[in-house]
């Protein structure tokens, strides 16, 4: 930890991108040249892999949003509201509405989720914004951010369309997307790095990592590795710096102390969801439903919170 002590946020973020890219190359290389990751029946994922992915997403993955209560308290303070229970109630209502909409209008809800998630991934993973909290003044900035983040969605559709559509079917969603259109989104997503960021080299490394992972692994495994070890870790590093700008070690301690309670609560509800769904579906189907519907129910209020905080900060 002393090695990272004198690193500023950008240096640490760049180090993280390089390490993740190296890890990706090692994993994809070993997957290509050995039978360690061979999955039978067109990359059909075994239950053991599904359980591991669930555990990682329910802990490492969701932990980067486990400080939303502190952000919520900050937002309420700006509106001179002291009762923190209002934040928790609002968060739960939005999350519950997402689940309800998914049950009633699954295709519409997942399309909205994929659009918002693409924009969220593009913005939150973008080096220029995430480290320096500023973006270049260009036209159609939001569209470029959407294109950049859409690679997370486009890559599995391009390399593993059968397996990706099988996941959609589990989620009661029927989508039909042209492979050519998906290819165009990938090219545009790669190109967007050059418009959004003067540090396009690092941003390109992140994008290539996503593409490499999806070219070898089942979509669930590729998404888990990206979501937990690129998106979530990057977000967590930023939160550690916010908690203690001078000492990353203390920032890590504070982050763990504050994030663990809500992470455990979220993981508990994810497990409860699997337990209830397992009465009607197989274990694997139950896990897939909880992972993606659960993440959608958390992503919507998470993005709304970030949006209102950002808008409020601009006004002040």
Give pLDDT tens digits for 104-126: 999 999 999 999 999 999 888 87
d(CA 254, CA 242): 10
Share of the chain above pLDDT 70, in %: 86
Do the beta carbons of residue 138 and residue 128 sit within 8 Å?
Answer: no
**pLDDT recorded at residue 33:** 56
Report whether pLDDT(91) > 90.
yes
Residue 283's nearest CA partner among 293, 292, 271, 295 is: 271
Confidence band for 36, pLDDT divided at 50, 70 and 90: very low
Mean pLDDT across 196-209? 81
Report whether pLDDT(194) > 70.
yes
Mean pLDDT across 92-115? 94
Share of the chain above pLDDT 90, in %: 53
Mean pLDDT across 3-9? 55
Confidence band for 40, pLDDT divided at 50, 70 and 90: very low
Give pLDDT tens digits for 232-276: 998 888 888 888 877 878 888 999 999 999 999 999 999 999 999
Mean pLDDT across 73-81? 87
Report whether pLDDT(214) > 50.
yes
**pLDDT recorded at residue 80:** 85
Confidence band for 6, pLDDT divided at 50, 70 and 90: low
Mean pLDDT over all residues of the chain? 85
Report whether pLDDT(304) > 80.
yes
| Cα angle value 207/166/278 (rounded, 5°) | 110
Report whether pLDDT(213) > 80.
yes
**pLDDT recorded at residue 226:** 96
d(CA 123, CA 196): 10
Mean pLDDT across 71-76? 90
d(CA 78, CA 289): 37
Report whether pLDDT(171) > 60.
yes
Q: Where are the domains of the chain?
A: 2-32+44-315
Report whether pLDDT(286) > 80.
yes
Q: Is the dihedral of CA 238, 239, 245, 248 positive or negative?
A: negative
- Name the more confident of 280 and 315: 280
Give pLDDT tens digits for 17-29: 889 999 999 988 8
Do the beta carbons of residue 148 and residue 126 sit within 8 Å?
Answer: yes
Q: Is the dihedral of CA 121, 28, 189, 184 positive or negative?
A: negative
Do the beta carbons of residue 47 and residue 283 sit within 8 Å?
Answer: yes
Residue 198's nearest CA partner among 14, 8, 48 is: 14
Do the beta carbons of residue 135 and residue 148 sit within 8 Å?
Answer: no
Claim: this prediction has a pTM higher than 0.85: yes
d(CA 198, CA 134): 12
């Amino acid at each position: 930890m002393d090695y990272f002590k004198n690193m500023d946020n950008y240096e640490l973020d760049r180090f993280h991108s390089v390490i993740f890219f190296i890890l990706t190359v090692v994993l994809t290389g070993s997957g290509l040249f050995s039978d360690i990751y061979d999955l039978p029946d067109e990359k059909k994922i075994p239950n053991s892999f599904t359980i591991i992915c669930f555990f990682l997403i329910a802990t490492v993955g969701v932990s980067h949003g486990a400080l939303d209560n502190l952000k919520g308290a900050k937002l309420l303070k700006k509106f001179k509201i002291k009762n923190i229970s209002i934040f928790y109630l609002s968060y739960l209502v939005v999350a519950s509405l997402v689940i309800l909409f998914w049950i009633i209008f699954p295709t519409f809800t997942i399309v909205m989720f994929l659009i918002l998630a693409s924009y969220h991934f593009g913005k939150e993973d973008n080096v220029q914004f995430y480290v320096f909290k500023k973006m270049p003044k260009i036209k159609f900035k939001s569209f470029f951010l959407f294109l950049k983040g859409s690679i997370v969605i486009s890559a599995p559709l391009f390399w593993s369309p059968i397996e990706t559509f099988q996941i959609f079917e589990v989620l009661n969603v029927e989508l039909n997307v042209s492979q050519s259109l998906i290819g165009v989104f990938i090219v545009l997503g790669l190109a967007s790095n050059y418009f959004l960021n003067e540090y396009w080299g690092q941003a390109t490394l992140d994008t290539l990592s996503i593409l490499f992972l999806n070219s070898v692994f089942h979509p669930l495994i590729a998404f888990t590795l990206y979501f937990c070890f690129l998106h979530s870790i990057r977000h967590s590093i930023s939160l550690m710096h916010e908690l203690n700008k001078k000492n990353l070690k203390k920032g890590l301690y504070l982050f763990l102390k504050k994030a663990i309670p809500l992470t455990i609560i979220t993981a508990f509800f994810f497990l409860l969801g699997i337990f209830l769904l397992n009465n009607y579906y197989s274990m694997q189907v139950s896990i897939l439903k909880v992972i993606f519907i659960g993440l959608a129910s958390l992503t919507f209020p998470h993005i709304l919170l970030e949006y209102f905080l950002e808008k409020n900060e601009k006004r002040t």
